[in-house]
Structure 1
Amino acid sequence: MTDNQSNAIEKQPKNNPSQNTQAPNKDVAVQKSTQSGASTSSTSSQANGKAAEPQIKKVDIAIAGVTYPIFCPVHEQEELLSAVSYINNYALDLKRDAPSLSQESILVLCCLNLYEKIHANQRSDEDRLQKDKQSQALLNKIMKDAHSIL
């Protein structure tokens, strides 16, 4: 699940999936290209005589009632769906609390909330590392003092 500006996804209302309601300049690109350059079609696997599952799969996700087709590596699909569930629940809570917010505003608020959580988690990790270093230094000092007494 990484950004790649060469492929665009269409934003589609859930009740009318065939109509594209977004201008082309607002399309978002989400696809992870494989390093081997493997195609999502099964033509290369058919040449070997066996049909293999594509490495990239199109997954339709829904966030706050809007469906987005996302191209996702097969091995990341479960993680994507977990993320969608979390973001959708948060977006629906925002929509319930502020029904006049646009879809774009809801998604911006979701992004800001996620950034805040990630940043707080990073600070916690840094604090934990600092405390570990202090604990290790104190333990080393205690052991050195104990050896000098013995």
Structure 2
Amino acid sequence: MTDDQSKSIEKQLKNTQAPSVPVTSAPVPAQKTTPAASNISSAMAQSNTKTPKAPEPQIKKVDIAIAGVTYPIFCPVHEQEELLSAVSYINNYALDLKRDAPSLSQESILVLCCLNLYEKIHANQRSDEDRLQKDKQSEALLNKIMKDAHSIL
């Protein structure tokens, strides 16, 4: 596969990615050119020119800091505010952990953050399920009361 074909395929892959997923680009390894591979890539290039292209999402590199370590993140522009909000929450939690256990490594702090977030999400889901079950019970009880009231009248 030639470099031009690799770039074309890489561009096509970028165009088909979901806009809400952070995008990073990795180089496409060079492969031996076979007639079938050449035909497939040229057919993909031709079919791509016939269909209208969706606008590429605006991606921005954002440097985030969690517990004193900076990480580069590629984020859709429209999700940057939500990312910064999440970073603030996670950073505060990580700094609290670091303050309580200064000997923990950055990796351990991040693992504990992930476990804590999972626990909160799972508890929220259970709470929603419990609330839904109670709503169903309340509705069934109300229907029974209404039915009993109609039978008396």
Q: Same fold (TM over 0.5)?
A: yes
Query: Paired residue for 1:116?
Result: 119
Give, in whole Å, the separation in 2 of the partners of 1:93 and 1:102.
14
CA displacement, residues 67-115 of structure 1 (integer Å, 9 cap, x when unaligned): 0111111111111101000000000011111111110000000000000
**Is 1:132 the equivalent of 2:132?**
no
Q: C-alpha displacement at 1:2, in angstroms?
A: 3.7
Q: Say which one has the larger Rg.
A: 2
Equivalent positions of 1:1-150 (< 5 A) are: 2=21, 36=54, 38=56, 55-150=58-153
Could you tell me the percent identity over the aligned residues? Answer: 90
Change (3 A) 1:137 1:127: same
Query: Paired residue for 1:26?
Result: none
Give, in whole Å, the separation in 2 of the partners of 1:127 and 1:63.
34
Stretches of structure 1 lacking an aligned partner (at least 5 in a row) = 8-34, 39-53
Give, in whole Å, the separation in 2 of the partners of 1:4 and 1:57.
9
Q: 2:22 touches 2:76 (CA, 8 Å); kept in 1?
A: no
Shift >6 Å, 4+ stretches? none
For the residue of structure 1 that corresponds to 2:62, the secondary structure is strand
Q: C-alpha displacement at 1:116, in angstroms?
A: 0.2
Q: TM (normalized to structure 2)?
A: 0.65
Stretches of structure 2 lacking an aligned partner (at least 5 in a row) = 1-19, 27-52
Change (3 A) 1:86 1:92: same
Change (3 A) 1:75 1:4: closer
CA displacement, residues 15-44 of structure 1 (integer Å, 9 cap, x when unaligned): xxxxxxxxxxxxxxxxxxxx9362xxxxxx
Q: TM (normalized to structure 1)?
A: 0.67
For the residue of structure 1 that corresponds to 2:102, the secondary structure is coil
Q: C-alpha displacement at 1:56, in angstroms?
A: 1.2
More helix by share: 2
Task: Let me know the Cα RMSD of the aligned residues.
Answer: 2.0
Q: Paired residues, what number? A: 108
For the residue of structure 2 that corresponds to 1:70, the secondary structure is strand
